[in-house]
Amino acid sequence: MSYQTLEVVADGPVLHVRLNRPDVRNAFNGVVVDELSAAFAAVDADARTRVVVLSGNGKSFSAGADLAWMQEQAGLPREANARSAERMARMFLAIARCKKPVVGRLFGHALGGGTGLAAAVDIALCSEDCVFGLTEVKLGIVPAVISPFVMQKIGVGRARTLFLTGERFDGKEAQRIGLVARAVPMAELDAAVAKSVGELLSAGPAAVASAKELIRTVGPLSLEDAIPVTSAWIAELRATTEAREGFAAFLDKRKPGWMA
């Protein structure tokens, strides 16, 4: 598949998806929204890809929604405006629900929807000086479509400060509040990404997909309601071919087949 606004490069089982509008700091317009949604749908259907790394070309990861595009959408008839907003919301969902684990490599700026992308990926890694912010209120709007993804990571309490003030914060703070998994000096960012990718590749592919699904399913359940779900889950999973190989490899003191 070829894209106008993305650079998509496969490196064995790792697919690198890079936002590619460096002149506007990778701000996303309707083309990016449609292309990112298509790229993540393609990942779901591609058996070769085991891990996705989402990053950006140029000085910054992403300056969020393209404000010229936002202005255009505002001028559309009500229905068309609503459809375009829903497509944007579904792009974040396509990333969050991707069947393969998604690692974010964030640097420079990750503002507005850029912070939303950090929240949508599974494992966000950033440079310590990366600038985040739910800056929408400074523009007279709100971080609406990204709010569920961001609040899942930082919680309602922190959202009450950050959504209302639109204040900017750095990568270290993003780590402290749980928006990113880890902030490292820029010179160490690629090594941090490589380490996470290595960890994911050494895990059973079906188990990683199942873990992602487990979090989504169990998250909203009470401890009591979780019992039938989680016990059925492990009973089924430990009988799979992949689990049998994982157990056998450990007991035989060898690497499992998926690492060969």
Which of 18, 50, 105, 109 binds ligand COA (CB under 6 A)? It is 109
Q: CB of residue 231 vs ligand COA: minimum separation in angstroms? A: 44
Asked if residue 116 binds ligand COA (CB under 6 A), the reply is: no
| Number of CB atoms found within 10 A of residue 236's CB | 11
Task: Considering the candidates 72, 86, 136, 199, report the single residue annotated as catalytic.
Answer: 136
Active site residue 35: no
Which of the ranges 2-10, 20-28, 77-85, 227-235 carries the binding residues for ligand COA, by CB under 6 A? 20-28
Q: CB of residue 209 vs ligand COA: minimum separation in angstroms? A: 32
Cβ-proximal residues to 177 (8 Å cutoff; 6+ apart), any chain: 154, 158, 169
CB 126 within 8 A of CB 103: no
Helix 78-96 vs helix 67-74: angle between axes, to the nearest 10 degrees?
140
Question: Between residue 163 and residue 202, which ones bind ligand COA under the rule CB under 6 A?
Answer: none
Q: Is the CB of 40 or the CB of 69 nearer to ligand COA?
A: 69
CB 112 within 8 A of CB 141: no
Per-residue tokens: 188: 């160490």
Q: Is the CB of 66 or the CB of 122 nearer to ligand COA?
A: 66
Helix 147-165 vs helix 113-120: angle between axes, to the nearest 10 degrees?
140
Distance CA 11, CA 222 (A): 41
Q: Is the CB of 68 or the CB of 74 nearer to ligand COA?
A: 68
CA distance between the termini of the chain: 29
Cβ-proximal residues to 41 (8 Å cutoff; 6+ apart), any chain: 94
Q: CB of residue 61 vs ligand COA: minimum separation in angstroms? A: 10
Question: Between residue 55 and residue 84, which ones bind ligand COA under the rule CB under 6 A?
Answer: 59-60, 63-68
Asked if residue 115 binds ligand COA (CB under 6 A), the reply is: no
Q: CB of residue 52 vs ligand COA: minimum separation in angstroms? A: 23
Which of 111, 123, 146, 154 binds ligand COA (CB under 6 A)? It is 111
Asked if residue 25 binds ligand COA (CB under 6 A), the reply is: yes
Strand (E) or helix (H) holding 22:
none
b/e for 58-71, b at 16 or more Cβ within 10 A? bebbbbbbbeebbe
Question: Between residue 132 and residue 151, which ones bind ligand COA under the rule CB under 6 A?
Answer: 135-136, 139
Q: Is the CB of 138 or the CB of 172 nearer to ligand COA?
A: 138
Binding site for ligand COA (CB under 6 A): 24-25, 27, 59-60, 63-68, 109, 111-113, 135-136, 139
Active site members:
136
